[in-house]
């Protein structure tokens, strides 16, 4: 579509009620940053951005019109680009855009568009865009799918110590496909707001920033379910949310990840939203919109009924608890009792980032994966060494295996029921993480699936650590995949 006539037909089909049109026109011989800034400004003042390119032979043109149109279409903010067969004034009369945007240098000149726009209430805006010191291209690449190039520190000595090689880890990846699992827990939506730092306020000692772009991700127990699906499992996900835009976002995203959803509408609370304001790869501030009280009994019964239907066919059940009320202790006890009757493997993770948690309330798990802080909170012990701490927690929670995550220091594996080697440590495999959010969720998902596939805790932990290393090399929570892990291990 390169003509006005074709554009009119497309707009009839695609323009929604309330959509505003912004029109920009020019030669655009060489698309330079000044053009891009103008187009970004234009887009910020409407819904659909239309760009008209002057035809071949017009004054000042030196590049074929079709090539100039293709260049304009490559700019992400442009919705439609076409060749001006008629004068720009005729286009304005025909399309009646809400806004016409021109460069700031035109403001003091004669602008014949003004009288046409004023006749129907349109606006003529002048701006050349803003110079930024934050590269939008870099921001976009941060959120691109797939693990970027980075240096991983694998530990072949750990594998050798337990009688394995890298080939065994790769073989284990292939055995994860087809496992049947369910994930229950708190759904969270994560929003990353990238900002341009403007400086320090003169009124008070406060950093001033200007938002540039925003990216949203499924988080909480939702990303745990997505990780399981990305590793090849068949996943049923049960949680609560409030019907609305965030509910719709979660439904769309999780379905695209291959997760089967069982979302229950909780009208008493908003869907949990966590915003991170970031600049130059650093988080400046986190803002959470949430409630932390237990869900009502009616919703607890509905969750139990749904998991009861799934339980006979499950290989594993994962409790992904963020302590926002989706998993009251009474509900957990009922579900655990049911799972034990069906010999379903049980795993739990209870996070205490900015909230209180007690992982020990998830009793009888095959594996629990607390941070050191979460482990100390559970047994009220701030002094014991890590091995003693892990054993105290294992006894308190009646768990078979405890994996204590230590951030940059790696992972402590405490598995006294497997063999004579009761405890071992695995170093962190990514020494330069870009975003540590979600590392624990990735490890929790992958170690549970690996155990379900028949691997012992040592091989399972190695694969899970590799998966977490891949995850923290990306910005934002996106599902880990078998391909990503296999690529870095190979």
Task: Give the range among 125-134, 183-192, 258-267 with minimum mean pLDDT.
Answer: 125-134
For residue 143, what pLDDT is reported? 57
Mean pLDDT along residues 357-367: 93
For residue 85, what pLDDT is reported? 86
Mean pLDDT along residues 424-443: 86
Please give the share of the chain, as a percent, with pLDDT higher than 90: 63
Domain ranges of the chain: 4-126, 138-489
For residue 129, what pLDDT is reported? 60
Mean pLDDT along residues 254-266: 96
pLDDT tops 80 at residue 351:
yes
Residue 397 CB: number of other CB atoms within 10 A? 24
Model confidence over 35-93: pLDDT tens digits? 888 999 999 999 999 999 999 988 878 788 998 999 899 898 999 999 998 899 999 99
Is beta strand 411-414 parallel, antiparallel or unpaired with respect to 401-405?
Answer: antiparallel
For residue 254, what pLDDT is reported? 97
Q: Could you tell me which residues come within 8 angstroms of residue 396 by beta carbon, excluding any fewer than 6 positions away?
A: 360, 378, 379
For residue 306, what pLDDT is reported? 97
What gap in Å lies between CA 18 and CA 150, rounded to an integer?
Answer: 45
- How does residue 417 score in pLDDT terms, banded at 50, 70 and 90? low
For residue 147, what pLDDT is reported? 44
- How does residue 128 score in pLDDT terms, banded at 50, 70 and 90? low
Task: Give the range among 21-25, 48-52, 103-107, 372-376 with minimum mean pLDDT.
Answer: 103-107
Mean pLDDT along residues 358-375: 94
> Cα dist. 41→17, 22, 34, 102, 196 in Å?
22, 10, 11, 10, 16
Task: Give the range among 224-233, 263-272, 474-483 with minimum mean pLDDT.
Answer: 474-483
- How does residue 133 score in pLDDT terms, banded at 50, 70 and 90? very low
Average pLDDT, the chain: 89
Give the Cα-Cα-Cα angle 308, 310, 314 (nearest 5 degrees): 120
Contact 24, 128 (CB under 8 A): no
Sheet holding 21-26, edge to edge: 80-83, 48-53, 21-26, 99-102, 123-126
80 Cα distance to chain centroid:
29
CATH ID of 4-126, from 3.40.50.620, 3.40.50.300, 3.30.1330.90, 2.60.120.10: 3.40.50.620
pTM confidence score: 0.72
Mean pLDDT along residues 358-374: 94
For residue 486, what pLDDT is reported? 93
For residue 354, what pLDDT is reported? 58
Q: What is the CATH number of domain 138-489?
A: 3.40.1190.20
For residue 311, what pLDDT is reported? 98
Widest Cα–Cα separation across the chain: 87
For residue 280, what pLDDT is reported? 85
Model confidence over 289-317: pLDDT tens digits? 999 899 999 999 999 999 999 999 999 99
For residue 222, what pLDDT is reported? 97
Model confidence over 174-230: pLDDT tens digits? 999 999 999 999 999 999 999 988 888 888 888 898 898 899 999 999 999 999 999
- How does residue 319 score in pLDDT terms, banded at 50, 70 and 90? very high
What gap in Å lies between CA 159 and CA 455, rounded to an integer?
Answer: 13
pLDDT tops 80 at residue 420:
no
For residue 221, what pLDDT is reported? 96
For residue 353, what pLDDT is reported? 64
Model confidence over 79-107: pLDDT tens digits? 999 999 889 999 999 999 999 999 888 88
């Amino acid at each position: 579509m390169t003509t006005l006539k074709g554009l009119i037909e497309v707009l009839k089909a695609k323009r929604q009620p309330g959509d505003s049109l912004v029109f920009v026109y020019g030669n655009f011989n060489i698309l330079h940053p000044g053009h891009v800034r103008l187009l970004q400004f234009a887009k910020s003042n409407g819904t659909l951005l239309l760009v008209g390119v002057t035809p071949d032979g017009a004054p000042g043109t030196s590049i074929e019109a079709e090539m100039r149109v293709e260049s304009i279409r490559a700019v992400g903010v442009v919705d439609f680009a076409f060749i001006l067969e008629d004068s720009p004034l005729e286009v304005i009369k025909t399309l009646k855009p809400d806004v016409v945007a021109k460069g700031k240098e035109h403001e003091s000149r004669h602008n014949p568009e003004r009288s046409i726009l004023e006749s129907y209430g349109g606006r003529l805006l002048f701006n050349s865009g803003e110079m930024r010191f934050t590269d939008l291209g870099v921001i976009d690449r941060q959120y691109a799918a797939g693990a970027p190039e980075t240096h991983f520190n694998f530990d072949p000595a750990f594998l050798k110590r337990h009688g394995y090689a890298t080939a065994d880890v790769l073989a284990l990846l292939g055995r994860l496909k087809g496992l049947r699992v369910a994930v229950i827990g708190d759904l969270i939506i994560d929003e990353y707001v990238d900002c341009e730092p403007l400086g320090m306020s003169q009124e008070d000692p406060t950093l001033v920033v200007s938002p540039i772009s925003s990216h949203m991700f499924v988080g909480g127990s939702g990303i745990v379910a997505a990780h399981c699906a990305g590793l090849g499992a068949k996943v049923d996900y049960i949680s609560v949310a409030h019907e609305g835009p965030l509910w719709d976002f979660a439904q769309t995203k999780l379905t695209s990840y291959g997760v089967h959803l069982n979302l229950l509408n909780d009208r008493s609370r908003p869907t949990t939203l966590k915003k991170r304001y970031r600049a130059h790869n650093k988080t400046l501030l986190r803002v959470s919109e949430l409630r932390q009280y237990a869900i009502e009994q009616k919703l607890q019964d509905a969750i139990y009924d749904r998991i009861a239907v799934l339980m006979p066919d499950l290989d594993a059940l994962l409790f992904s608890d963020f302590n926002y009320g989706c998993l009251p202790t009474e509900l957990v006890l009922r579900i655990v009792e049911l799972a034990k009757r069906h010999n379903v493997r049980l795993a739990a993770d209870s996070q205490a980032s900015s909230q209180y948690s007690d992982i020990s309330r998830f009793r009888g798990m095959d594996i629990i994966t607390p941070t050191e802080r979460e482990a100390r909170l559970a047994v009220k012990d701030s002094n014991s060494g890590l091995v003693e701490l892990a054993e105290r927690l294992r006894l308190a929670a009646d768990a078979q295996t405890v994996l204590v995550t230590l951030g940059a220091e790696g992972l402590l594996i405490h598995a006294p029921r497997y063999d004579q080697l009761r405890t071992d440590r695995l170093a962190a495999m990514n020494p330069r993480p870009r975003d540590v959010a979600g590392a624990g969720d990735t490890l929790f998902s992958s170690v549970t699936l690996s155990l379900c596939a028949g691997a012992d805790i040592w091989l399972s932990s190695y694969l899970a650590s590799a998966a977490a290393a891949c995850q923290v090399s990306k910005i934002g929570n996106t599902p880990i995949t078998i391909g990503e892990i296999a690529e870095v291990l190979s």
